[in-house]
């Protein structure tokens, strides 16, 4: 299974649409969002693609309204601050903060740990886990990017989203 990972959309609906089109083209079976949607309407965009999306809160998300939007969606599952998933036979943890991501990766419980917050791409091993920050979709100050994770190979890569 190919999983698309995104983060830090910060209300930039056009970049989210570009990223979702790219992920659909790549035929991902799931999407992970590492937080900072900003406005709850971003959930509608994520839901519209028809691919299961697994999400956590960022530090600037409206928890009440975003939860209501996610609960009303067909394809978006919102886990709160930390998600523990099993997708394609891999154990995955998701949160917004890299420091928490590093701690989760160091437990040895996960194959992949996804985080965001810094708006900087990161891909490294901590013990047996892959720690992945997909970068940002926000669009301010440089490249916008997503990441892909292949559950069969255990490998990940960053992909620039062209404007």
CB distance 81 to 93 below 8 Å: no
What average pLDDT does the segment 73-93 reach?
Answer: 98
Domain ranges of the chain: 2-160
Q: 19: pLDDT confidence band, cut at 50, 70 and 90?
A: very high
Helix axes 13-25, 41-48, angle to 10 degrees: 20
Q: 121: pLDDT confidence band, cut at 50, 70 and 90?
A: very high
Q: 49: pLDDT confidence band, cut at 50, 70 and 90?
A: very high
Q: 80: pLDDT confidence band, cut at 50, 70 and 90?
A: very high
What average pLDDT does the segment 81-106 reach?
Answer: 98
Question: Does the pLDDT value for residue 141 go beyond 90?
Answer: no
Question: Does the pLDDT value for residue 140 go beyond 80?
Answer: no
The architecture that CATH gives domain 2-160 is 4-Layer Sandwich (3.60)
Task: Please give the structure tokens belonging to residue 138.
Answer: 């926000």
Q: Is the pTM value of this prediction over 0.95?
A: yes
For the chain, the C-alpha Rg in angstroms (whole number) is 14
């Amino acid at each position: 299974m190919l999983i698309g990972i995104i983060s830090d959309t910060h209300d930039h609906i056009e970049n989210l649409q570009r990223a979702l089109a790219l992920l659909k083209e790549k035929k991902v079976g799931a999407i992970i969002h590492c937080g900072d949607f900003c406005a709850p309407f971003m959930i509608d965009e994520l839901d519209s693609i028809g691919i299961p999306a697994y999400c956590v809160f960022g530090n600037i998300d409206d928890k009440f309204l975003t939860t209501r939007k996610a609960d009303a969606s067909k394809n978006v599952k919102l886990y709160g601050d930390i998600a523990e998933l099993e997708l394609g036979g891999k154990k995955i943890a998701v949160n917004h903060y890299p420091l928490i991501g590093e701690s989760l990766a160091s437990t040895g419980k996960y194959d992949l740990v996804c985080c965001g917050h810094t708006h900087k791409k990161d891909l490294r091993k901590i013990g047996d886990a892959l720690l992945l920050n997909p970068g940002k979709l926000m669009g301010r100050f440089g490249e916008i990017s997503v990441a892909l994770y292949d559950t069969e190979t255990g490998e990940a890569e960053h992909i620039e989203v062209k404007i």
